[in-house]
Structure 1
Amino acid sequence: MSNAVVIAAVDGSEHSLRALEWARTAALRHRAGLLVAHVLPDETQLYAGLRSELHDAAQAEPFADPAGDRARAFLAAAPERPAEIAYESLEGSVPEALRVIAPGARMLVLGSRGRGGFASLLLGSNSRAVATTAPCPVVVVPHADRGVEAAAEPSAGRVVLGLHAAETPDSVLDFAFAEAAARGTAVQVVSAYAVPPSPLLLIDSPFTVVPPEGLPDDGDAVPAEREMLRSQTERLEPLRARYPDVPVEQASVPGDAAGRLVTASRSAALVVVGRHHPRRSPRNLFIGSVANALLHHAHGPVAVVPTL
């Protein structure tokens, strides 16, 4: 997978250019090629179809492609570019067209909403559809309004991994560790355990991060927390062996995993989660509740990884 291409899906909007910039740096970080893809507008697709019927196909006529032109201009002005950059104009619906070119890609990067999104829209329909069905990891970069609050805090630069120790697919863990290795940063692993309702539980209270050597073994932690940390450690052992230079931080938190991960996204370089609810089939078209909450509310980029 080391040579797999990074795909940036653009539509000419400012949101998609933010995603293109993220994809550019990801391609450089992984020493991968960059494929800039955009789906032609409906009117352009109609024009192209009519033109092919009325003219000789051997005498192709150029047509306006503002999204592709803007992406080329954006990359031309970038301080550094991947060694290999390709552009592809696609036809069909956005989710289906991107799904066709995505197999084998390292990741597909797109903005949280496109040119047609309402100003108040948290997640565009195309972004959700692609994150739900693409055959490769999908990174959704939030629009600027959602990043303002996060920008006020210094970024720790770590990769945050949402982990259900017993059920999260291996592909999710491997993506998170590979991304941290490429960045030269740590993986912070966050797992949640169920607790009885309590008026003393503060929903927004910070969670504790511990290194492996600091795992409680003297009864100080509640049994559920202690068991969750033990399960984490066992599940992460093969990843630590595979990525010995990646520091690992472990956190076991009570209650809502989605809320804790949204909070962690304020200072994370990337939050990584699995696509589906672990008890559902990988072919199920419903996205898991944790992934869905992050796509709508995270303050930074979110990677949604399918079972590969």
Structure 2
Amino acid sequence: MTVNDPRITVGVDGSAGSTAAVTWAAKLASRRRLQLKIVHGLQVAGLYYGGGMTGIGAATLFEAVQKDGERAIADARTLAASIDKDLVIVTDLPNDPPVPTLIDESRHARMLVVGRTGTGGFTGMLVGGTAATVAAHAHCPVAVIRGRHDSAIVPETGPVAVGIDGSPNSEQAIAVAFEEASLRGVPLVAVHAWNDIVYEDTRGTARILTQPGTLEEGEDRLLTERLAGWPEKYPDVEIGRVLVRDRPRRALLEISEEAQLVVVGSRGRGGFTGMLLGSTSQALVQHAQCPVLVVRPERKA
């Protein structure tokens, strides 16, 4: 998570999900002593092209949309300042669609934060896959702020959980998860889920492994190897291990009911080439019971 600009960026739209995202992002920026950038995309292209409006009507509607955006920005700024009066806050209100805006903002952020739902400038922040799209293409980790049972109640207690599968992207998720657990002063739960069905070719031919005991020993060894060295780097972080024969998404969704944050890589070792967001990450972004932090592979210069 090394980026030129030391900032946390949050996308806002005035919805309840957006309010939760601003609160979470402001607390994180305050804790890290980073700048907070609040962004709202106006999404005004349709007012002029294909929207059936021209002249005074389009101008009037644009003015209303802009005022809504300004109000969302102002409310978010007031909320963030109430959390930390010394927080450095900047804002932006571009006349651009939300997804390209957020992806571009991710080039200059330590972390990008979005709510689980949206209205106005960020309509359909989950419906239609906007959050998943941002998480799949961003240049920094993306936090999707989810509450318990689809509510606005975002948990602030419980451990940080991380999904581990042995992929390079999983290694990056482990690094971020330890940092977040240390920052919060809470335990880290390392979750490694596996099953005894493997696919042997591109046609999806499956076979069931006949030595589950031997396989479990290997998976336990993999988890141990992936955690090696981290206790020395973060001696303040208590580490719990969960090794379960199950689908990763189900195991992580279950632990999200007790965690305050779940960290995953955007793609695991079972992902298909060209799939920018794996099925486990997608499931968590849409159904987790706590905020989800999706860690993207590092971009090569």
TM range (shorter): 0.7 to 0.9
Alignment of 1:186 onto 2:183: no
How far does the alpha carbon of each residue in 1:154-210 deviate from its partner, in whole angstroms, 9 at most, with x for none? 8752110000035444321111111111101111000012136xxxxxxxxxxxxxx
By how many angstroms is 1:38 displaced? Answer: 1.1
Aligned positions of 1:1-308 closer than 5 A: 1=2, 4-42=6-44, 64-77=66-79, 78-81=82-85, 83-115=87-119, 123-142=127-146, 146-147=150-151, 156-195=157-196, 222-278=213-269, 284-308=274-298
CA, structure 1 residues 44+84, in 2 after alignment: closer, same or farther (shift >3 Å)?
Answer: farther
By how many angstroms is 1:115 displaced? Answer: 0.7
By how many angstroms is 1:73 displaced? Answer: 2.8
CA, structure 1 residues 165+85, in 2 after alignment: closer, same or farther (shift >3 Å)?
Answer: same
CA, structure 1 residues 127+114, in 2 after alignment: closer, same or farther (shift >3 Å)?
Answer: same
Instruction: State the distance in 2 between where 1:79 and 1:138 align.
Output: 21
| Structure 2 gap ranges (5+) | 56-62, 198-211
Quick check: 261-270 or 156-165, which moved more? Answer: 156-165
CA, structure 1 residues 90+118, in 2 after alignment: closer, same or farther (shift >3 Å)?
Answer: closer
Q: Which amino acid aligns with 1:96?
A: P
CA, structure 1 residues 46+186, in 2 after alignment: closer, same or farther (shift >3 Å)?
Answer: farther
Which residue in the other structure is 2:201 paired with? none
By how many angstroms is 1:66 displaced? Answer: 2.4
Q: Which amino acid aligns with 2:252?
A: L
Instruction: State the distance in 2 between where 1:147 and 1:228 align.
Output: 36
CA, structure 1 residues 38+143, in 2 after alignment: closer, same or farther (shift >3 Å)?
Answer: farther
Instruction: State the distance in 2 between where 1:286 and 1:29 align.
Output: 31
Q: Which amino acid aligns with 1:181?
A: S
Q: Which amino acid aligns with 2:15?
A: S
SS of residue paired to 1:103: helix
TM-score (norm: length of structure 1): 0.76
Instruction: State the distance in 2 between where 1:263 and 1:169 align.
Output: 19
SS of residue paired to 1:185: coil
By how many angstroms is 1:277 displaced? Answer: 3.5
How far does the alpha carbon of each residue in 1:2-46 deviate from its partner, in whole angstroms, 9 at most, with x for none? 872111001122211111111111111222110101111316985
CA, structure 1 residues 297+191, in 2 after alignment: closer, same or farther (shift >3 Å)?
Answer: same
Identical columns (%): 28
Instruction: State the distance in 2 between where 1:27 and 1:247 align.
Output: 24
Q: Is the 8 A contact 2:192 2:248 kept in 1?
A: yes
Q: Is the 8 A contact 1:190 1:251 kept in 2?
A: yes
How many residue pairs align between the two structures?
A: 268
How far does the alpha carbon of each residue in 1:264-301 deviate from its partner, in whole angstroms, 9 at most, with x for none? 1111110010002436588x353101101111111111
Instruction: State the distance in 2 between where 1:81 and 1:225 align.
Output: 51
SS of residue paired to 1:39: coil
CA, structure 1 residues 262+27, in 2 after alignment: closer, same or farther (shift >3 Å)?
Answer: same
CA, structure 1 residues 82+106, in 2 after alignment: closer, same or farther (shift >3 Å)?
Answer: farther
By how many angstroms is 1:103 displaced? Answer: 1.2
Which residue in the other structure is 1:210 paired with? none
| Structure 1 gap ranges (5+) | 52-60, 197-220
Q: Is the 8 A contact 2:167 2:268 kept in 1?
A: no
